[in-house]
Structure 1
Amino acid sequence: MWRNDRLFSSDLPHEDDAVEQTDIVDLLVVGGGINGAGIARDAAGRGLTVLLCEQDDLAAHTSSSSTKLIHGGLRYLEHYEFSLVRKALQEREVLLKAAPHIISPLRFVMPHMPHLRPAWMIRAGLFLYDHLSKREVLPGSRGITFSSHPSGIPLKKFLKKGFVYSDASVQDARLVVLNAMDARERGATILTKTRLIEATQGAQYWDASLLCTLTGKTTHVKARCVINAAGPWVASLLHGALQTSAQHQIRLVKGSHIVTKRLFDHDHAYIFQNPDNRIVFAIPYEKDFTLIGTTDVEYQGDPASVTISNEEIAYLCESVSRYFEATVTPAQVVWTYAGVRPLLEEEVDNPAAVTRDYKLELHTGQNQAPVLSVFGGKITTYRRLAEEACDQLQSLFSYMKPSWTAHAPLPGGDIERADITEFLRVFQQRHPWLPAALAQRYAHAYGTRAERMLAGIKDIAGLGELFGADLYAAEVHYLVQQEWAITVDDILWRRSKLGLHLLANGDTEAVARLAAWLAEQKIAVEPAVA
């Protein structure tokens, strides 16, 4: 029988956790990015038995390579994508309430460059942005004068006026993990480092073979339906393991980012217009840094091997240097990352103009077990995508419960009135021995789940070994036991961004200490990739 009540200590695919050959599940979700995790969560909450397999780590690729924003997409208004923007703005409000610990309001400053876009056009766009969806959390837009606004200090002096509007920032990889955690707590099984290598489509079931890349063990499962949420690999999975065709196609577009030491002292982000009609963000990041991105470049290679090019680094530096008084150079870059976006294919030449909307394609042929494939999408609308995907499955599973995620907090997000400031104040009172900066990071990373991590700990010594950048053994233990962390990279670059702080400080010994600790715990260790 399928063991719905089985909650692995970390759902690591150890040999004794292998799926039994006789197991039958309702859904086999392939892909541990934001869409796969979101669908697994929604489906498990509706009463379906769910198994999710991910060939690498959760959020290992596209979902951890975003611009870290929950936003409506102001620039999509220029492409008349009003429906997508409205949907994204609605979801922005939902997610701010569901995960106030990892999603935070953020004000954006747009300096006005008259030769790029007239002021009336920007005002009209911002008016639409403010009113396409009801706002309950975020303030609206307004005009500003840089001589009297702190955001004007780092800007070139010829810039006199601009506009301010609202969106939100997100810890993108943690958003994926929280969805996977909620799915597991509702009965789903999440297997990382586990790849679908073969699937045979029968009349009632898919017979699937899963390979655990850590143990080399192949196991089997029968699934009433397969969800293809493989992101950049959605087409190759269809044509490969699933041996199925599809109407829709994806277009791979590389988006790259650079990170520098902090370029300005205030808490606003910037959105800069470029002569090529693209926009680039400069965002306060991890307190000590500035995140700059993104590019849009056609990509033909392996999505797992994507890297930023020197040309992209130069482009991003030049883009922000048009606006900042101090020139930003490639020598200032302390970290870069790139990801491949699987965008819905359209007949447009400019990659930046390709829609960020999504399509769901359900195949329910006669005498064939169904498969649902996800094409496109963006992180802001993942919950709606998951909801619509499960709605499409309603006719296949009569026992499915109705949709439920619109008003349900994610793990750690059950904070009264979604007031993270008040939560932090109380959290610090409960743990006065925690340094203020560490308490703030715990609160924003784990929300109410931080109490579980600190259970029984009464002082700093109780946190165990300090690896560096305020990473203690207690947190690592929690990440391994509760969040599927296996490698150094899982911990330093996805569950947290502490790797960035270690990298900027040149603390390579901390990485070695962490790797040694994981090895002592008999957890697989891979080299950290900056």
Structure 2
Amino acid sequence: MADDLHHDNVQVFDLLVIGGGVNGCGIARDAVGRGLSVGLVEMDDLASGTSSASTKLFHGGLRYLEYFEIKLVREALSEREVLLRAMPHISWPMRFVLPYTDTMRFENDTPTSKLLSTFLPWMKGRRPAWLIRAGLFMYDTLGGRKFLPGTKSVDLSVDPVGKPLKDEFEKAFEYSDCWVEDSRLVALNARDAAERGATIMTRTKLIGAERTGDEWLASLENVETNERFTCRAKMLANAAGPWVRELIDRTARSDMRTDVRLVKGSHIVTRKLYDHEKAYFLQGKDGRIIFLIPYENDYTLIGTTDAKHDDPNQSVTISDEERDYLLAFANEYLKQRVTADDIVWSYSGVRPLYDDGASSATAATREYVLVMDDEGGAPVLNVFGGKITTYRRLAEQAIDRLTERGGRFGKSWTAGVPLPGGDFPVDGVGDLISSLRARYGFLTDEWATRLVRAYGTDADEMLNGAMSQNALGEMFGETLSAREVEWLMDKEFARTADDVIWRRSKLGLRLSDEDVRRLDAFMVEKGGLSNTARPVKAAE
């Protein structure tokens, strides 16, 4: 498709997407599936920014009900099961425990809190059980839930989920949401788009774009070689995330007043804090919430914060204040105190929220906003905000908006169509692991589980009939083989060791520095880039 379209030796696309995060890759996949020729440019690796720094949940956003964001929550809830069916290898149901006491008070300024304070002054600062239960009833029913279990009450004094919590927490509600491997979601969308004909250009920066009649002339730079080149496109989709405003100024040069609000969210990863596989939804005295979530078998993920961030080009790392805030928040609930010494890693990302003038970062809307600029001729669609849970719907609506200008071009199609490796039932992971172990006797259960959770039905294709571990080539530690690395380079656009161990997987939590050096050397030999500058573990 796109590879065959040229004009005066310049590649021509129906659509050029700027940004290789979840929204950009989702838009590219949707567009190419409708028959458009598509190019995508990303100045770094896929999911190198916000899309690999999420809390890793497909969820409706229970707390958004307090801000009366009913439309957002309904759309997100309805998407959970659509997405689960499309990617049962990288996403799965998870139960969340919300502990509470009747005496808990909060300092918050949500619309719900203000309403209660006005009509029931004695309830100021409280989220009573009936209010929480009402919110969870809405959560269970808004999205047309089909197979995720509903909310139930929990007696923490007898249920094992109460064991890690302080004795003052005797009651809880338990409800459903879903886990997702966020950066793998991005890579699989990009891979599927490429296999359908899109041209995916990572480490490629948009220098500028100008309208030339009914087309865009885009100037691009390969950041590996510093080579500059141009391409033409009938339409642009600006999905640059935190850089969306910068790209508006660099392309349309319009007086568009719509702006982005940058909010930094930080997470810490600690040693495993409890033994069961359920997550905790914790309410803070400041009215905020955090999650404690089982992570990578041996760890617990704690997050997130909401902090103002001024410059998308500014380094994004967790501050001491954010770290201490998350630790103190968790310690309000946990019997066994968690300290900075328990932290093994941390990560931060910048959420590019639509600036709706909210008084705080926490209150800013998580709704996505699509702003079209076509007054000068060729259109550009600018994407503001959004949640990882609604990325597919955002992409669907983005292509609808772009193509309706010249007449509808193909029908939406992505609902129910699996991502690569996801063509098996939601409850079929166990069977897939068993069959993989039966076919490849050298795999341990842990190894087979990791491969199925990463690649689904493609795990068998990647192993390609190997009869022994030796057939997979050099081993880099933690079951990472040369065969797997070559797969990631060939099919998932990995170019550096960091791409492999922090975005295509989280093996960076376990690999030694020597393991990473050997991986780096192997990838350079195979045509990749040298990059051993690993994110520093907080415990190191």
TM interval, short-chain normalised: over 0.9
Q: What is the one-letter code of the residue matched to 1:270?
A: Y
Q: Give structure 2 stretches of 5+ with no counterpart.
A: 106-126, 536-540
Q: Deviation per CA, 1:330-363: give whole Å up to 9, x if none.
A: 1211100000000010222121111111110111
Distance in 2 (CA, whole Å) between partners of 1:249 and 1:179 is: 27
- Paired residue secondary structure (1:351): coil
- Checking the alignment, whether the CA contact within 8 Å between 1:208 and 1:222 is kept in structure 2 is yes
Q: What is the one-letter code of the residue matched to 2:379?
A: P
Distance in 2 (CA, whole Å) between partners of 1:342 and 1:509 is: 36
Structure 1 counterpart of 2:93? 105
1:38 counterpart = 2:43: no
Q: Cα 1:137–1:245, aligned 2, differ >3 Å: closer, same or farther?
A: farther
Q: Aligned match of 1:429 in 435, 438, 441?
A: 438
- Trace 1:54-453 onto structure 2 (pairs within 5 A): 54-114=42-102, 115-116=104-105, 117-303=127-313, 305-365=315-375, 368-398=377-407, 400-416=409-425, 419-453=428-462
Q: Deviation per CA, 1:460-488: give whole Å up to 9, x if none.
A: 11111111122111111110111100011
Distance in 1 (CA, whole Å) between partners of 2:252 and 2:205 is: 13
Structure 2 counterpart of 1:3? 3
Structure 1 counterpart of 2:120? none
Distance in 1 (CA, whole Å) between partners of 2:314 and 2:204 is: 15
Distance in 1 (CA, whole Å) between partners of 2:4 and 2:437 is: 37
Q: Aligned match of 2:516 in 490, 511, 514?
A: 511
Q: Cα 1:267–1:303, aligned 2, differ >3 Å: closer, same or farther?
A: farther
Distance in 2 (CA, whole Å) between partners of 1:377 and 1:207 is: 28
Distance in 2 (CA, whole Å) between partners of 1:76 and 1:185 is: 37
- Checking the alignment, whether the CA contact within 8 Å between 2:41 and 2:206 is kept in structure 1 is yes
Q: Cα 1:143–1:416, aligned 2, differ >3 Å: closer, same or farther?
A: closer
Q: Cα 1:19–1:476, aligned 2, differ >3 Å: closer, same or farther?
A: farther
- Paired residue secondary structure (1:393): helix
- Checking the alignment, whether the CA contact within 8 Å between 2:2 and 2:39 is kept in structure 1 is no
- Checking the alignment, whether the CA contact within 8 Å between 1:209 and 1:221 is kept in structure 2 is yes
Structure 1 counterpart of 2:38? 50
Distance in 2 (CA, whole Å) between partners of 1:184 and 1:304 is: 31
- Checking the alignment, whether the CA contact within 8 Å between 2:354 and 2:384 is kept in structure 1 is yes
**1:134, distance to aligned residue in structure 2 (A):** 1.2
**1:399, distance to aligned residue in structure 2 (A):** 6.6
- Checking the alignment, whether the CA contact within 8 Å between 1:174 and 1:494 is kept in structure 2 is yes
Q: What is the one-letter code of the residue matched to 1:347?
A: G
Give the % identical residues. Answer: 50
Structure 1 counterpart of 2:510? 501
- Paired residue secondary structure (2:362): helix
Distance in 2 (CA, whole Å) between partners of 1:32 and 1:322 is: 38
- Paired residue secondary structure (2:161): helix
**1:421, distance to aligned residue in structure 2 (A):** 2.4
Q: What is the one-letter code of the residue matched to 1:391?
A: D
Structure 2 counterpart of 1:484? 493
- Checking the alignment, whether the CA contact within 8 Å between 2:85 and 2:425 is kept in structure 1 is no
- Checking the alignment, whether the CA contact within 8 Å between 2:474 and 2:481 is kept in structure 1 is yes
**1:61, distance to aligned residue in structure 2 (A):** 0.3
Structure 2 counterpart of 1:8? none
- Checking the alignment, whether the CA contact within 8 Å between 1:97 and 1:418 is kept in structure 2 is no
**1:414, distance to aligned residue in structure 2 (A):** 0.7
- Checking the alignment, whether the CA contact within 8 Å between 2:165 and 2:334 is kept in structure 1 is yes
Q: Deviation per CA, 1:288-332: give whole Å up to 9, x if none.
A: 000000000011133461110000000000000010001111121
**1:416, distance to aligned residue in structure 2 (A):** 3.7
Structure 2 counterpart of 1:475? 484
Structure 2 counterpart of 1:520? 525
Size of the aligned set, in residue pairs, is 513
- Checking the alignment, whether the CA contact within 8 Å between 1:21 and 1:220 is kept in structure 2 is no
Distance in 2 (CA, whole Å) between partners of 1:26 and 1:240 is: 20
Distance in 2 (CA, whole Å) between partners of 1:20 and 1:472 is: 44
**1:243, distance to aligned residue in structure 2 (A):** 2.2
**1:93, distance to aligned residue in structure 2 (A):** 1.0
Distance in 2 (CA, whole Å) between partners of 1:519 and 1:186 is: 28
Q: What is the one-letter code of the residue matched to 2:437?
A: Q
- Checking the alignment, whether the CA contact within 8 Å between 1:20 and 1:220 is kept in structure 2 is no
- Paired residue secondary structure (2:165): coil
Distance in 2 (CA, whole Å) between partners of 1:121 and 1:2 is: 53
Distance in 2 (CA, whole Å) between partners of 1:2 and 1:80 is: 43
Q: Deviation per CA, 1:83-137: give whole Å up to 9, x if none.
A: 1000000111110100000001100001113223211111111101000011123
- Paired residue secondary structure (1:407): coil
Structure 1 counterpart of 2:538? none
Distance in 2 (CA, whole Å) between partners of 1:432 and 1:210 is: 48
Distance in 1 (CA, whole Å) between partners of 2:66 and 2:426 is: 35
Q: Deviation per CA, 1:183-236: give whole Å up to 9, x if none.
A: 111110000000010211121110111100111111111100011000000000
Q: Cα 1:343–1:417, aligned 2, differ >3 Å: closer, same or farther?
A: closer
- Checking the alignment, whether the CA contact within 8 Å between 1:268 and 1:283 is kept in structure 2 is yes
**1:400, distance to aligned residue in structure 2 (A):** 1.6
**1:162, distance to aligned residue in structure 2 (A):** 0.6
Q: Deviation per CA, 1:270-293: give whole Å up to 9, x if none.
A: 010000000010000000000000
**1:425, distance to aligned residue in structure 2 (A):** 2.4
Q: Aligned match of 1:462 in 453, 459, 471?
A: 471
- Checking the alignment, whether the CA contact within 8 Å between 2:88 and 2:424 is kept in structure 1 is yes
